[in-house]
Structure 1
Amino acid sequence: MRDLLKSHLVTVQNQLWEISDSLYHHPELGDQEYESSKRLIKFLEEHNFVVEKGIVGRPTAFKAVYDSKKDGPTIAYLSEYDALPEVGHGCGHNLIGTMSVGAGVTLSKVVNEIGGRVVVLGTPAEETNGAKVPMAEQGIFDDIDAAMILHPADESYESGDSLAMDAIQFDFRGRTSHAAASPEMGINALDAVIQLFNGINALRQHVTSDVRIHGIIKDGGVAANIIPDKAVAQFYVRAKDRTYLNEVVHKVINIAKGASSMTGAEVHIENYELSYDNMVTNHTLSQLFTANLLSTGVKQVKKAKDSYGSIDMGNVSHVVPAIHPYIGLDSPGLIAHTREFANITITDNTHQILSKGALALALTGYELITNNETLEKMKGEFRQTVLS
């Protein structure tokens, strides 16, 4: 069956390479990936997937299903296709999206025989306001047994952890006045933002080493001789798990309230992007995928490295067994979110890597469908590590 799956992948791999390159040449930002999603949907529909578009209220999101009409588990591959401002596909989402649809189509060619369902989810805006969050909240994964996504990197790594994250905006409002002639009549909103930064800097000594707090001033006034009546700061607050992150965020909010009391500026606090949960890798699923990736000719898969970023796949991992491993582009030291990263995604060598990644995903789905012992072990681990 391994050879059969490989032959099915080879049949479509030229199309996959063309799709990935097309996404590279026409990058689209999060929730604006209209042409990218159309291209991926067209490929899936050509291979008899039934596609529901615009799910969870996101116009460029989709759910594509191939149902064997036979009993068996449901395997989901998650497709990302948003690009970055200025650098385009500097995180390789053109590869991610294409590997997932390639894996889905490849596995669909055998499920009529072995049973089960194949789902490909189009998940926009991972870089900013990830659609996987409302998908996890609104039950999209309720009938799915395993969810997988494969991310490009400099080298190959096992699926690991990520930080939970809240994106918080602090909007301070004061009162304008002439900064020299009548400063006593003003309420300086910028002073409140500066006190917020000072308080957060003092907090850093009293949180665990995994915590990351970083922010900017979005609005700080219009002229030096006018006391600013409006100042806005935006922060990302991250920690290794959601429970501790909530504690840290509570402290940060109290600092903002203190800054408000100190200056007299009123503060409005809200999340300006969706919150991401920490990634909980299912190690049974991860070990299965790693073995399959090595079987495709990838020479080495390193242990998961420490991650201080945040991904919306974390939210998925709290509702279904999930993995988020990395496939190497044979470029040790390659830095993500750069034009150099984007440019390497369209080389002949990377095309071959794309095929290996799609095949490894398909092989893993096949083994979950046909090996009930492994399937139940994966589910048991999920119940113990996430649901208990």
Structure 2
Amino acid sequence: MPTAAATSVADVIASRRQDLVELSHQIHAEPELAFAEHRSCAKTQALLIERGFELTTAVAGLDTAFRAVYGSGDLVIGICAEYDALPGIGHACGHNIIAASAVGTALALAEVADELGMTVVLLGTPAEESGGGKALMLDAGAFDDIAATVMLHPGPIDIAAARSLALSEVMVRYTGRESHAAVAPYLGVNAADAVTVAQVAIGLLRQQLAPGQMCHGIVTDGGQAANVIPAHAEMAYTMRATNSESLRELETRMAGCFAAGAVATGCSHEVREPAPGYAELKPDRWLSSVIRAEMLRLGRTPVPEEVEASVPLGSTDMGNVTQVMPGIHPVVGIDAGGASIHQPEFAAAAAGPSADTAVIDGAIMLARTVVALATDAGERDRVLELQHRRAA
């Protein structure tokens, strides 16, 4: 039987449906990129400020990161809101849905915070697509007082205990020497050729990659004029693996490929990481079981538990959070006509009727899951004990 608090939070979210859907659409209509989500950040804060949440801005030194806090109970629950978009294709990852559902969850939990001895913390986390906002906030202590963290992500299907791949990104810059491509090519040192050699080496490496390892990249600078031997060239590469240990192995092998371009052409090269790496998701088993039950209760059809680990997924900085505290990152399905995330068709669907339903369903599922945690004495004690150990 649902508790009175579980029923209450669902009713609150249903009563705020218009506000939450409008928030989702407003963020969707003005997509903003990593670390520059100023309008989206302000929109996400508005309903929380109205409800009386205490707001701290520019958390971890990030202009578009914030913490909104309500209540004073010993059980501190984090809810992550994302709101950054993708270059060129807007909200093709549906972060507008994430932000709106997070706000709905927070508003609902505020109504029962005192009753359940909770402190509700909504964290505005920028730059998930590129930049690792949560990882930066985690390192800066923004999650230190939190016992468990929840959020959800839209996708083409429902997944209760979603997994993700560990990820790291690098920029590789080659430096050679300019020369006229016809008059004195032998005086030049071709940085673009270094890129070509490195990419050939990476292509050959792919045959020997371990299961779950992958790499993909683009050339961001290949020269400026065809009749000038380019002295500078640059690539951006992303590496992924099923876990952080496997990722480290892949990074070592990729480093050899990058170095091969320099050795073969006589260029120098520099490899830098522009953002923190993303760890793999480690969904909390108990919280995942509750969110699965909530999906089923709402008539959704999450993929069977036995195949969850094999569903192809991307990477998220929420993985870093779940490595250090109990947390979940379920996927809530929307109808995108067969499209998947990071496609223009998914961006269009992220403001459609099924996306609006996902905002409300998602908020209800997360809020009821948190209520279940707060009212289960054993599980409440478990997450509090883990938090106390981290703080010690």
- The TM-score normalised by the length of structure 1 is 0.92
1:25 matched to 2:29? The reply is yes
1:90 positional shift: 1.8
Q: 1:23, 1:61 → 2: CA distance?
A: 16
2:233 and 2:132 map into 1 onto residues whose CA distance is 27
TM superposition shift of 1:308: 4.3
2:62 pairs, out of 58, 74, 80, with 58
1:205 Cα offset (Å):
2.4
| Mapped contact 1:173–1:230 kept (Cα < 8 A) | yes
1:9 aligns with 2:13: yes
Equivalent residue for 1:284? 286
Partner amino acid, structure 1, of 2:190:
N
Match of residue 205 from structure 2:
203
Residue 78 (structure 1) aligns with: 80
Q: How does 1:99-248 map to 2 (within 5 A)?
A: 99-248=101-250
Partner Cα distance (1:360, 1:157) in 2:
13
Q: Which amino acid aligns with 1:47?
A: R
Any conservation in 1 of the 2:167–2:277 contact (CA below 8 Å)? yes
Q: CA deviation at 1:253?
A: 1.5
- Deviations along 1:59-113, one digit per CA (max 9) or x if unpaired, are 111111112x34x311111001112223222211111101011101101101111
Q: CA RMSD, aligned part only?
A: 2.2
Deviation at 1:19, TM superposition (A): 1.0
CA gap of 1:345–1:366, structure 2 versus 1, over 3 A, is same
Q: Give the match for residue 337 of structure 1.
A: 342
- Cα 1:147–1:184, aligned 2, differ >3 Å: closer, same or farther? same
Query: Residues 219, 379 of structure 1: CA spacing in aligned structure 2 closer, same or farther, 3 A cutoff?
Result: same
- How much does 1:326 deviate? 0.9
- Higher alpha-carbon deviation: 370-379 or 99-108: 370-379
Shift of residue 128 of structure 1?
A: 1.4
**Cα offset, 1:330, TM superposition:** 4.2
Q: Which amino acid aligns with 1:232?
A: E
AA aligned opposite 1:60: T
Asked whether the equivalents of residues 158 and 286 of structure 1 are also in contact (C-alpha less than 8 Å), the reply is yes
* Equivalent-residue separation in structure 1 for 2:383 and 2:172 (angstroms): 42
Residue 382 of structure 1 and its aligned partner are, at CA, apart by 11
Q: What is the DSSP-based 3-state SS (H/G/I as helix, E as strand, rest coil) of the residue aligned with 1:15?
A: helix
Q: Structure 2: where are the runs of 5+ without partners? A: none
Residue 248 of structure 1 aligns to a residue in which SS?
helix
Tell me, yes or no, if the aligned pair for 2:335 and 2:349 is still in contact at 8 Å: no
Partner residue, 2:314: 309
Q: Within 2, Cα distance between the matches of 1:81 and 1:97?
A: 6
Residue 35 (str. 1) matches residue 44 (str. 2): no
1:319 aligns with 2:321: no
Identical amino acids, percent of aligned pairs: 34
1:154 to partner: Cα distance: 1.9
User: What's the offset of the Cα at 1:166?
Assistant: 1.2
Q: Is the 8 A contact 1:178 1:227 kept in 2?
A: yes
SS at match of 2:218: strand
Q: Deviations over 1:209-228 (max 9, x none)?
A: 21111112211222333211
- CA separation in 2, counterparts of 1:346 and 1:247? 40
Within the alignment, does 1:45 sit opposite 2:52 as a pair?
no
Whole-angstrom CA distance in 2 between matches of 1:325 and 1:34: 26
Give, as a single letter, the amino acid of the residue that structure 2 aligns with 1:12: R
Q: Secondary structure at the match of 2:228?
A: coil
Decide whether aligned partners of structure 1 residues 163 and 333 sit closer, same or farther in structure 2, where only a CA change above 3 A counts.
same
Change (3 A) 1:326 1:382: farther
Matches of residues 89-104 of structure 1 in structure 2 within 5 Å?
89-104=91-106
TM-score, normalised on structure 2? 0.91
Cα distance in 2 for partners of 1:228, 1:349 equals 50
- The alpha carbon displacement at 1:170 in A equals 1.1
Query: 1:55: Cα distance to partner?
Result: 0.6
Q: How many residues align?
A: 381
Asked whether 1:256 is paired with 2:261, we answer no
User: Is residue 132–residue 315 contact of structure 1 (8 Å, CA) maintained in 2?
Assistant: yes
Structure 1: stretches of 5+ with no match in the other structure: none
The code of the aligned residue for 2:357 comes to Q
